[in-house]
């Protein structure tokens, strides 16, 4: 029977994913407003946009070292307010140096949060003995939709960045601090169960070997190249290539986000029923098909259908990649997750300029085939997602007498 402390920890971690989704969406969807507030030119804007994921990668690397001394849950609880206050700083500042400091804090905190949240998620999933990792990322998707909706409301009401951000931060900072109270207890229970299982099963902790982790790193990078392609180019592609109106051009990303949430909401059930390998293969197929439909779409609505398929396909790959790293290195899962998380930002940085360069030099239809091929490479590495039968039983998930929570 699932320990109540694990259930509380699971709910708290889901809240953490939700909070980060809200904060990130509020930042990226208000970029035009940020640009106007600080007088940033179009030529300089890409430097600021690239700085955040680069610093997030630094934050992930630092987190790998910090968790040797500080528990991921404690780091997560302390970093969430920093992220939210940095967001508030973006809205409150007036000078360019103030924006630089706020974005630097935001990027470092985002990397630390990404790493520590997924570290704790891997631990909790192992303690549960069944797939729950995709559900955490569903909470992030829900937060992204909520943040984007709040950003739209702020623009619609002609609110300043500070007025838009202040009430959200005022609500989420105390919520995150209160929710984070259960991280420590959940970590203690999960650590105790891991130690008991290792002792009972005679498992020798395997040190982190980057060569073995590399296939998962490539899968992570390719998935985020696909994701950044949708977030950065779907509107332009629908409008300029497929002839959709400006209003219709806003639909593909919204459809992508909604289907990402729907896919992640049921993804854990799929893993429990069919296994991680089958779910990743299905997601890879749908993502490849989605890019293919987008590339050959005769019109706007066919393109929207392709982006919708992309949401259903890509949504399960990232959380299952983190989970696979935890299974591959049970004795060094924190380090594996932190190292893997860096390739999140690698994919994000590569995806947008890659598609843009190919689109200008070749064609945007042809450019969509490149992330399609990259995502399909995941088929080559699906064995990396196999569960260890000694730990997860029956080739899928380890059975329990009762599943609660």
138 and 242 share a domain? Answer: no
196 and 217 share a domain? Answer: no
d(CA 124, CA 126): 5
Q: Check whether 371 has a pLDDT greater than 80.
A: yes
- DSSP letter for each residue of 95-131: SHHHHHHHHHHHHHHHHHHHHHHHHHHHHHHHHHTS-
178 and 278 share a domain? Answer: no
Residue 401 domain flag: no
Residue 82 domain flag: yes
d(CA 149, CA 72): 30
pLDDT digits (tens, 9 = 90+) for 314-351: 999 999 999 999 999 988 999 999 999 999 999 999 98
Residue 265, Cβ density class (10 Å: 0-12 exposed, 13-18 middle, ≥19 buried)? middle
What range defines the domain where residue 117 resides?
4-201
The residue written with tokens 């069919």 in the block is: 274
CATH code for the domain in which residue 309 is found:
1.20.1250.20
Q: Among residues 181, 201, 221, which one ends one of the domains?
A: 201
pLDDT digits (tens, 9 = 90+) for 25-48: 999 888 888 988 999 887 888 888
Q: Which of 10-14, 32-36, 49-53 has the highest mean pLDDT?
A: 10-14
d(CA 80, CA 307): 31
338 and 372 share a domain? Answer: yes
Residue 390's pLDDT is what?
Answer: 41
pLDDT digits (tens, 9 = 90+) for 138-177: 999 999 999 988 988 888 899 999 999 999 999 999 999 9
Residue 403 domain flag: no
Cβ neighbors of 158 (< 8 A, separation 6 or more) are: none
Mean pLDDT of the chain: 88
d(CA 52, CA 252): 25
Residue 402 domain flag: no
Residue 400's pLDDT is what?
Answer: 39
pLDDT digits (tens, 9 = 90+) for 113-141: 999 999 999 999 988 889 999 999 999 99
160 and 25 share a domain? Answer: yes
Provide the number of structural domains found in the chain. 2
Q: Check whether 194 has a pLDDT greater than 90.
A: no
61 and 163 share a domain? Answer: yes
233 and 301 share a domain? Answer: yes
User: Residue 33's Cα: distance from chain center in Å?
Assistant: 24
353 and 214 share a domain? Answer: yes
Residue 276's pLDDT is what?
Answer: 96
């Amino acid at each position: 029977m699932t320990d109540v402390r694990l259930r509380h920890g699971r709910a708290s971690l889901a809240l953490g994913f939700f909070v980060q989704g809200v904060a990130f969406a509020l930042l990226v969807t208000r970029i035009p407003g940020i640009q106007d507030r600080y007088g940033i030119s179009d030529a300089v804007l890409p430097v600021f946009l690239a700085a955040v994921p680069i610093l997030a990668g630094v934050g992930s690397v630092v987190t790998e070292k910090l968790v040797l001394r500080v528990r991921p849950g404690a780091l997560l609880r302390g970093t969430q307010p920093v992220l939210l206050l940095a967001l508030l700083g973006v809205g409150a500042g007036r000078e360019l140096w103030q924006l630089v400091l706020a974005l630097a804090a935001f990027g470092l905190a985002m990397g630390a949060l990404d790493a520590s949240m997924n570290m704790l998620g891997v631990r909790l999933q192992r303690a549960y003995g069944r797939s729950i990792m995709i559900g955490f990322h569903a909470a992030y998707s829900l937060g992204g939709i909520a943040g984007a909706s709040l950003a739209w409301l702020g623009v619609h009401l002609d609110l300043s960045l500070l007025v838009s951000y202040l009430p959200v931060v005022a609500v989420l900072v105390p919520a995150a601090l209160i929710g984070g109270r259960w991280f420590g207890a959940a970590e203690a229970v999960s650590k105790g169960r891991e130690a008991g299982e290792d002792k009972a099963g005679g498992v020798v902790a395997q040190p982190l070997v980057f060569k073995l982790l590399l296939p998962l790193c490539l899968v992570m990078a390719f998935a985020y190249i696909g994701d950044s392609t949708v977030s950065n180019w779907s509107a332009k592609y629908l409008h300029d290539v497929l002839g959709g109106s400006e209003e219709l051009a806003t639909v593909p990303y919204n459809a992508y986000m909604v289907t990402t949430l729907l896919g992640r909401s049921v993804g854990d059930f799929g893993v429990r029923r069919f296994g991680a390998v089958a779910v990743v293969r299905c997601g890879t197929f749908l993502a490849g098909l989605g890019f293919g439909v987008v590339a050959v779409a005769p019109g706007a609505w066919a393109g929207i259908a392709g982006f919708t398929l992309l949401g259903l396909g890509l949504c399960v790959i990232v959380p299952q990649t983190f989970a696979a790293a935890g299974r591959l290195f049970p004795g060094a899962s924190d380090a594996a997750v932190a190292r893997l998380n860096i390739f999140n930002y690698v994919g994000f940085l590569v995806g947008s300029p890659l598609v843009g360069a190919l689109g200008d030099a070749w064609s945007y239809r042809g450019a969509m085939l490149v992330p399609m091929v990259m995502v399909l490479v995941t088929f080559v590495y699906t064995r990396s997602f196999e569960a260890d039968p000694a730990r997860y039983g029956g080739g899928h998930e380890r059975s329990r007498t009762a599943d609660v929570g």
